[in-house]
Structure 1
Amino acid sequence: MNPQFKKGVLELVVLESVRKRDMYGYELVEEVSKVIDVNEGTIYPLLKRMTNERYFETYLRESTEGPPRKYYHLTAAGVLYRDSLEKDWNEFQERVCTFLREHAD
């Protein structure tokens, strides 16, 4: 997939994943990777920035497989931002699809 396409929808996919249920970082990498090929080096800085922007709250939860895990929870601001991104994405992809249909040979 084109890296610019990926960059454009990554935040939306991350927000949508956490909207469904709270997740810890590596779990989120696995979930997002079902749609977009990403790695931890891409997701963790994004999570940090979006937490600083107050789209996520974090908390620790004990793990049976090692140290406690940091979970991400979508805030009300995060829900509003996700909704805004989804609206923008739908408008954008519809315009592109319409353009491509109109210019098809």
Structure 2
Amino acid sequence: MFHFLTDPADRARYAELAAAAIDPGGHLVIGTFAADGPGQCSGLPVIGYGPDELAAQFRPAFHSVTWRDEYHRTPWGAEQHFTWLVLQRHRPEPHPTPVPG
């Protein structure tokens, strides 16, 4: 569904909601059309992503763990290229404990 979000504000809101919903250390698995995928789906415009471009949409709250390409054959015989990405929510940086001196 993310590939249908063509407005940058909608993508930013999606990433904000994902960061709010996923605990630090938790994972998000997302699949979109790849960068060389179709420009439309069901008559609607879409944006395709490579793994780096997709990961950038979720920074700074997430970092990329792994990704893979998938070629899906539709019931009509067309082949569509997808990018799948596993992201991990960053854990907060520990605050150093002051040492009495």
* Greater share of strand: 2
Higher Cα radius of gyration: 2
- Output the TM-score relative to the length of structure 2: 0.34
Question: Which structure has more RCO (C-alpha within 8 Å, separation ≥ 6)?
Answer: 2
